[in-house]
């Protein structure tokens, strides 16, 4: 299989999507953060010193998705039409799961935007709660599904 981010002389390049047809593209990514019971309870009850952790994480996830081409060298700048963030409480862990859905009509997919959004959202939770628990673990950041484009559907 030939790598698409290398030219004929094996130099890095951005993939040329000029000739591709625009389609509706949707990607869903998720990840989790595990923490102490104390940190979980303080976040859920909005009693952390840094303010509303989950609301800030949602904003950070959206911002992260929008900034993807500035962070990942070969990503195209995309005109996202929607970024939706869901935070799921996991009291049994204890911790949280973030799900980010990125959407657009365009010539290239939004998987990296969804994955970056999840990563930045989870890192924001860590940042805002690290004074309570430095041993938090971010894990299972992954693509859950994608649709649109030449490669078609993917569902984990």
pLDDT tens-digit series, residues 109-132 = 899 999 999 999 999 999 999 999
Rounded CA-CA distance 88/54 in Å is: 10
Domain assignment of residue 6, yes or no: no
Q: Structurally, how many domains does the chain consist of?
A: 1
40 assigned to some structural domain: yes
What are 11-68's pLDDT values in tens digits? 777 777 877 888 999 999 999 999 999 999 999 999 998 899 999 999 999 999 999 9
Of the candidates 101, 18, 110, 111, the one whose C-alpha atom is nearest the C-alpha of residue 58 is 101
pTM: 0.91
What CATH number should be reported for the domain holding residue 68? 3.30.70.640
Residue 101: which domain range?
Answer: 23-148
Asked whether residue 44 is domain-assigned, the answer is yes
Flag whether 114 is in a domain.
Answer: yes
Known catalytic residue at 10: no
Residue 138 placed within a domain: yes
Catalytic residue among 7, 21, 86, 127: 127
């Amino acid at each position: 299989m030939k790598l698409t981010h290398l030219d004929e002389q094996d130099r890095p390049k951005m993939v040329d999507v000029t000739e591709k047809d625009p389609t509706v593209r949707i990607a869903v990514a998720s990840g989790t953060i595990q923490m102490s019971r104390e940190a979980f309870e303080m976040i859920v009850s909005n009693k952390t010193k840094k303010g509303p952790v989950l609301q800030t994480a949602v904003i950070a996830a959206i911002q992260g998705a929008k900034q993807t081409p500035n962070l990942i060298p070969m990503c195209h700048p995309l005109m996202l039409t929607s970024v939706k963030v869901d935070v799921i409480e996991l009291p049994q862990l204890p911790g949280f799961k973030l799900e980010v859905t990125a959407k657009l009509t365009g010539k290239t997919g939004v998987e990296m935007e969804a994955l970056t959004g999840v990563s930045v959202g989870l890192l924001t939770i860590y940042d805002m709660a690290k004074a309570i628990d430095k041993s938090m673990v971010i894990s299972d950041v992954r693509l859950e599904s994608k649709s649109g484009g030449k490669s078609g559907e993917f569902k984990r």
